[in-house]
C-alpha cells in the first residue's frame, strides 16, 4: 500500500482509506500517523540525549543548533499536516528536508570536533539519512498527487 511506502501509518481505518482514495489527496490530519514524523521524533530524542554529553561551552553553540535542526524536522511535519491541502504539506516537508540536511552537517562537525562517544555519530547519521529518504519519498508522492 502506498501509504506505508511513503511514511503513513495504516491503522486499518476504512475512513482513512476511503478519504485518501476519494479525494486523491494524502489527507493526513494527525501528524503522528506519519511514520516519517515518528522517525524524526526518535531522531530528535537521540540528538537531545547525545548532546547532553557535549561540553558545557557548546550549550549555546553546536548543542543548540543540533537540537533546533532536529526538532525542526518533526515540527515542520506537524505544521504541514495542520495546514490545508497537499501543496502546504509538501512545502513544509521540503523545509523539514532542509533541516535534515542542516543536521547532517552539524553531525559531521561534531564528529570532526570529537564530541561524540563511540557509535553515536554512526547511529544518528544513519537515522538522519533514513528520515531524509522518507521525506524525499513523501515529497515525490505529494508532487504526483498535486
pLDDT digits (tens, 9 = 90+) for 16-46: 222 332 234 555 678 999 999 999 999 999 9
Estimate to the nearest angstrom the gap between the alpha carbon of 21 and the chain centroid.
25
**Minimal CA–CA distance to 123: which of 48, 64, 46?**
46
pLDDT at position 27: 57
Q: Which domain holds residue 82?
A: 11-26+55-145
Is there a domain that residue 43 lies in? no
Residue 109 DSSP SS3: helix
Is there a domain that residue 66 lies in? yes
Structural domains in the chain (count): 1
Is there a domain that residue 46 lies in? no
Largest CA distance in the chain: 54
CA distances from 98 to 2, 9, 14, 52 (A): 24, 23, 34, 24
Adjacent-strand bridge partners of 34: 8
pLDDT at position 16: 22
Is there a domain that residue 45 lies in? no
pLDDT at position 34: 92
Amino acid at each position: 500500500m502506498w501509504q506505508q511506502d511513503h511514511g503513513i501509518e495504516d491503522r486499518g481505518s476504512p475512513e482513512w482509506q476511503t478519504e485518501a482514495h476519494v479525494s486523491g489527496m494524502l489527507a493526513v490530519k494527525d501528524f503522528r500517523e506519519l511514520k516519517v514524523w515518528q522517525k524524526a521524533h526518535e531522531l530528535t530524542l537521540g540528538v537531545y540525549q547525545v548532546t547532553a554529553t557535549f561540553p558545557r561551552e557548546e550549550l549555546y553553540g553546536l548543542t543548540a543548533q543540533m537540537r533546533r535542526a532536529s526538532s525542526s524536522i518533526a515540527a515542520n511535519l506537524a505544521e504541514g499536516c495542520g495546514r490545508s491541502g497537499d501543496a502546504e504539506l509538501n512545502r513544509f516537508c521540503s523545509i523539514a528536508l532542509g533541516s535534515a540536511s542542516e543536521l547532517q552537517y552539524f553531525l559531521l562537525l561534531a564528529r570532526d570536533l570529537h564530541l561524540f562517544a563511540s557509535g553515536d555519530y554512526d547511529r544518528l547519521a544513519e537515522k538522519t539519512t533514513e528520515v531524509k529518504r522518507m521525506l524525499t519519498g513523501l515529497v515525490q508522492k505529494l508532487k504526483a498527487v498535486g
